[in-house]
Amino acid sequence: MFFRMIRGAFVRQWKKMLMIALTIALGASLATAMLNVMMDVGDKVNQELKTYGANITVVPKTASVVDDLYEVEDGTSASSGAYLREDELGNIKTIFWAFNIVDFAPFIDTSAALYDGGEVTVVGTWFNHHLDLPTGEALNTGVHSLRTWWDVTEGEWLDEQTFSGEQGAMVGETLAKQENIHAGDTITLSTKHGSESFTVAGIFSSGDSADDQIYAPMDAVQTLSDTDGKLTSIEVSALTTPDNELAEKAAKDPSSLTISQYELWYCTAYVSSICYQIQEVITDSVASPVRQVADSEGAILEKTQLLMVLITILSLVGSALGITNLVTASVMERSNEIGLMKAIGAKNGAISALVLTEIILTGIIGAVIGYFAGFGFAQIIGQTVFGSAIEMKPFVIPIVAVLVIAVTLIGSVPAIRMLLRLRPAEVLHGR
Amino acid sequence: MTKQKMFLRMITASLIRRRSRMLVALLAIAVGGTILSGLVTIYYDVPRQMGAQFRNYGANMIFVAADTETGLTMSAAEEAASVIDSGDLLGMTPYRYETVRIHEQPIVAAGTDIESTKVTSPYWHVDGSYPASSGEVILGSDVAELLGLGVGDGFNATYSSGDDSDSDEPNLGVDMKVSGILETGGSEENYIYMSMEDLNALAGEKDSLQVVELSVSATQEELRGYADQISDTSGTVAAQLVKRVTQSESTVLTKLQALVFLVTAVVLVLTMICVATTMTAVVTERRKEIGLRKALGASDKSIIGEFMGEGLLLGGIGGLVGSVLGFVFAQLVSVNVFSSSITFQPLLIPITMVVSVLVTGLACLLPVRSTMAIDPALVLKGE
User: What is the model's pLDDT at position A67?
Assistant: 47
Cα–Cα nearest to B37, from B360, B256, B347: B347
Note the residue count of chain A: 431
Dihedral pair phi/psi, residue B100, rounded to 5°: -120, 170
User: What is the model's pLDDT at position A77?
Assistant: 43
User: What is the model's pLDDT at position B382?
Assistant: 61
Note the residue count of chain B: 383
Q: Do A52 and B244 touch (CB under 8 A)?
A: yes
B-contacting residues in A 225-284 (Cβ below 8 Å): none
Q: Do A30 and B266 touch (CB under 8 A)?
A: yes
Res. A360 pLDDT band, cuts 50 70 90: confident
* Alpha-carbon gap, residue A198 to B245, rounded angstroms: 31
Average pLDDT, chain A: 82
Task: Render each residue's pLDDT in chain B as its tens digit; 383 residues.
Answer: 577 777 777 777 766 666 777 777 788 888 888 888 888 888 888 777 887 788 888 888 888 887 777 778 888 888 888 888 888 888 889 998 888 888 878 888 888 988 888 888 888 888 888 888 888 889 888 888 888 888 888 888 888 665 444 445 556 678 888 898 988 877 888 888 988 888 888 887 777 888 888 888 888 888 888 888 888 887 788 888 888 888 888 888 888 888 888 888 888 888 888 778 777 777 777 777 778 888 888 888 888 888 888 888 888 898 999 999 999 988 888 888 888 888 878 888 888 888 888 888 888 888 777 777 777 777 666 65
Question: Which residue does chain B place closest to A330, by CA atoms?
Answer: B281
Indicate the residue of B20, B53, B263 with minimum beta-carbon distance to A37. B263
Cα–Cα nearest to B222, from B67, B60, B4, B69: B60
- The ipTM value here is 0.78
Cα–Cα nearest to B202, from B163, B164, B165, B155: B155
Query: Does the predicted model carry a pTM greater than 0.95?
Result: no
Res. A74 pLDDT band, cuts 50 70 90: very low
User: What is the model's pLDDT at position A430?
Assistant: 59
Read off the pLDDT of residues B292-333 as tens digits, 9 standing for 90 and up: 888 888 888 888 888 888 888 888 898 999 999 999 988 888
Write the DSSP assignment of B52-91 as a string of letters: HHHGGG---EEEEESSTTT-B-HHHHHHHHTTS-TTTEEE
User: What is the model's pLDDT at position B1?
Assistant: 55
Residues of B in contact with A307 (CB under 8 A): 42, 46, 260, 333, 337
Q: Do A319 and B271 touch (CB under 8 A)?
A: yes
Dihedral pair phi/psi, residue A136, rounded to 5°: 95, -10
* Alpha-carbon gap, residue B192 to B176, rounded angstroms: 11
User: What is the model's pLDDT at position B355?
Assistant: 87
CA distance A142 to chain B (A): 17
User: What is the model's pLDDT at position A176?
Assistant: 87
User: What is the model's pLDDT at position B161?
Assistant: 62
Is B208:B70 a contact under the CB 8 Å cutoff? no
Is A92:A234 a contact under the CB 8 Å cutoff? yes
Is B14:B289 a contact under the CB 8 Å cutoff? no
B-contacting residues in A 395-414 (Cβ below 8 Å): none
Q: Do A69 and B337 touch (CB under 8 A)?
A: no
User: What is the model's pLDDT at position A116?
Assistant: 67
Read off the pLDDT of residues A7-63 as tens digits, 9 standing for 90 and up: 777 777 777 788 888 888 888 888 898 889 888 888 888 888 888 888 888 888 765
- pLDDT beyond 80 at A115: no
Percent share of chain A, pLDDT over 90: 3
